[in-house]
Amino acid sequence: MKSILILLFILPIMTFAQDNVTWDYPIKPGAETWKLLKNNAEKVQACQVPTEKLTAMSTQELIHLCLNYPLLLDIFAFNYIKDGFGKFESDFNGYRELIKRDNAAEELLKLYKNMDPTSIPKDGSILEKGDYVFKFSFIELFISYPMVVEKCSTNEKMEIVNELLLKKEKKKSRPDWYENTGIRTNYLAIVNILQSDTEKFQSGLNIAQVTPYIYWGILPTPEIIDQIDQEANQYVKNN
């Protein structure tokens, strides 16, 4: 998985399929015009969506636009996912528009439910397979973002956690693809959502102990992982 991540950083990003596109990035990695951009700031600027287009887009299209953001993999270029994701939010006006939408979580969950971690394209290139795998991590980060989660009811949060648990078990059947980043973002999303529902969920987790491991890129000890699983399943059961 580590070698796949390195390859995806080095080679041009493939794009996730999307329907009903009303706007697309005018410059993309691999194009000669992209190579002429001098630094990250110029690349970020080239990826901004015109304001009038943003407000006219459906939430579904915004999600696909975010998944196709040319600099999306930069999230994992930082020591901490939190820092990488913070830069992504700060840099990209498309995601800032998405998190304003009241139905962001609903549409993200709808897409997430229709995906199967084990359906990695058999005949695809390593880039196509890597894109498919990382799509799960990106959606997990999107759907557990505080501004998205705060718009969700307890029942909606429960539904998201339940789906995260289902996806996690399927990911574990393909450790060759999901053993690090794929599992890490799954647990990070679960913990973030559980912690957001303080009225319904009294966590016994030591968050100060759990989150640094997940942000750093190393999963907590098996004992803590078991505790997260138990509390997540209890949360779903109680709601």
How far is Cα 143 from Cα 111, in angstroms, rounded to an integer? 11
Q: Are 69 and 92 in contact (CB under 8 A)?
A: yes
The two structure tokens encoding residue 86 = 């913070």
Q: What is the pLDDT of residue 204?
A: 67
Q: Of 161, 155, 156, 69, nearest to 107 (Cα)?
A: 156
Handedness of CA 156, 94, 96, 217 (dihedral sign): positive
- For residues 58 and 214, what is the distance between their CA atoms, to the nearest angstrom? 32
Are 140 and 186 in contact, with CB atoms under 8 Å apart? Answer: yes
Nearest partner of 76 among 18, 13, 165, judged by Cα: 13
Question: Residue 39: is it exposed, middle or buried by C-beta count within 10 angstroms (0-12/13-18/19+)?
Answer: exposed
Output the pLDDT for position 6: 45
Using the 8-state DSSP alphabet, how is residue 233 labeled? H
- pLDDT recorded at residue 152: 94
pLDDT of the residue at 202: 59
The reported pLDDT for the residue numbered 8 is 46
Of 26, 151, 42, 147, the C-alpha closest to 91 is 42
What is the dihedral sign for C-alpha 230, 83, 85, 4?
Answer: negative
Q: How far is CA 100 from the centre of its chain?
A: 17
Residues 6+ apart with CB under 8 A from 133: 4, 117, 120, 177, 178, 182
Residues of the chain with pLDDT under 50: 2-4, 6-14
**Dihedral angle, C-alpha 193, 194, 200, 204, nearest 10 °:** -160
